[in-house]
């Protein structure tokens, strides 16, 4: 299931959304450098898009927590795992080659 948080940003804030891709039911483990509480994934997206270190984030729906990562699923596919409580979103504008 692909979830696009970006559409919510554009509709609620009348701003162009930062580039991102979201996948429900998956997370990236072992690369979290910061966490924060958030009511919705939109807050994670906005915080990640302004943080140069943030490459992706997990939004844990049950605890309303953002887990910011300095890697992406493409960079570390072995750490990309199924987790029904999470949504992973990559900040394409901050990706490092």
pTM of the predicted model as reported, rounded to 2 decimal places: 0.74
Instruction: Answer for the pair 34, 68: CB distance below 8 angstroms, yes or no.
Output: yes
Q: What is the mean pLDDT of residues 58-81?
A: 93
- The predicted pLDDT at position 93 comes to 61
- The predicted pLDDT at position 92 comes to 57
Instruction: Answer for the pair 23, 86: CB distance below 8 angstroms, yes or no.
Output: no
Instruction: Answer for the pair 78, 71: CB distance below 8 angstroms, yes or no.
Output: no
Instruction: Answer for the pair 47, 66: CB distance below 8 angstroms, yes or no.
Output: yes
For the ranges 17-26, 37-46, 66-75, the lowest mean pLDDT is seen at 17-26
Mean per-residue pLDDT of the chain: 79
Cα–Cα distance between 33 and 25 in angstroms, integer? 21
């Amino acid at each position: 299931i692909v979830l696009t948080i970006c559409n919510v940003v554009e509709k609620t804030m009348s701003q162009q959304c930062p580039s991102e891709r979201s996948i429900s039911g998956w997370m990236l483990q072992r690369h979290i450098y910061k966490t924060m509480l958030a009511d919705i994934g939109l807050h994670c997206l906005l915080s990640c898009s302004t943080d140069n270190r943030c490459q992706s984030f997990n939004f844990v729906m049950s605890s309303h927590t953002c887990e910011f990562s300095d890697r992406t699923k493409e960079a570390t596919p072995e750490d990309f795992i199924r987790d029904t409580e999470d949504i992973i979103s990559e900040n394409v504008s901050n990706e490092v080659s």
